[in-house]
Structure 1
Amino acid sequence: MIKGFKDFIMRGNVIDLAVAVVIGAAFTAVVNAIVSSIITPLIELFWKPDENGVPGIPVPAVWGGTVTFPIGDLITAIISFLAVAIVVYFVFVFPMNLWKERQAAKAGVTEDKEEKLPTEQELLIQIRDLLQKTDSTPR
């Protein structure tokens, strides 16, 4: 049992995952800083909620009184998520993909050299042709 655990830990995937979690936690602070210092002020140029935020939807409760669904919080969370996703993509993912493509081009690696695998239809046609050949051979 201990040997199995040791093999699992030393496999490398666990170490990579641990590093990714630590880097991701540190990366979150950078992304949140970009969103709060750049994206949020840009949004506030066009729309600024009042001090209480966007009001919710009041619904009459069964026992009397009202229950308020805080839709404003949901909208804020969705906008924040989209802002973080946009920042991560355009500031980090897109430039990294461009850099990788340039490095691959410098190294002479292109995707055109990749061997194209036959489609399912082409494979079925080949199987049919082989079966017809074996059926037509004399026994």
Structure 2
Amino acid sequence: MLKGFKEFILRGNVIDLAVAVVIGAAFTAVVTSIVNNLINPLIGAFFQASTLDDALVVTLNGSDVKFGAVIGAIINFLIVATVVYFVFVYPLNELKKRAERLRKKGVVEPEAPVTELDVLTEIRDLLSAQQSPPSGTGKHADPSV
């Protein structure tokens, strides 16, 4: 059981996930700061409130319903989603598309290792070239026929 746990922890995916969580937390702190210190005050100024959390507050039976805080959270989410899309998702999708186009054209990237399929394809092409009659001689390669 401990051996299985050790293998799980030392897997590359777990380490990558841990790094992603740490970077994500740091990134969230930056985005939250931008939203709280820049965007919320600008939007709050339109509603005559110091921050968006203080804007659009409705009091019902002594309880405050803070619509501005919800709007701020939505704005925070949209900013994070926008940055993640344009910094990570879009560039990676473009790289995948480019790699797919190169693969369809038959261009092999220089660092790509030669596979058995590549070698077999090359052998097939060489054998095919040896067995085909020379061009321009018609059906028979022997001129005496």
**Category of TM-score, reference length = shorter chain:** 0.5 to 0.7
- Asked if 1:71 is matched to 2:67, the reply is yes
Larger radius of gyration: 2
* Superposition RMSD in Å: 3.4
SS of the counterpart of 1:108? helix
Specify which of 82, 85, 89 is matched with residue 93 of structure 1.
Answer: 89
Work out the CA distance in 1 between the residues paired with 2:32 and 2:88: 14
User: 1:56, CA displacement in angstroms?
Assistant: 1.7
Structure 1 runs of 4+ aligned residues shifted over 2 Å read 11-15, 27-38, 107-110
SS of the counterpart of 1:51? coil
- Give the gaps of 5 or more residues in structure 1: 61-65, 111-139
Per chain length, whose mean CA-contact separation is higher, i.e. which structure has more relative contact order (CA < 8 Å, sep 6+)? Answer: 1
- Give the gaps of 5 or more residues in structure 2: 107-145
SS of the counterpart of 1:87? helix
Whichever residue aligns with residue 51 of structure 1, its letter is S
Work out the CA distance in 2 between the residues paired with 1:109 and 1:25: 40
SS of the counterpart of 1:68? strand
Matches within 5 A, 1:81-120: 81-108=77-104
- Asked if 1:21 is matched to 2:22, the reply is no
SS of the counterpart of 1:69? strand
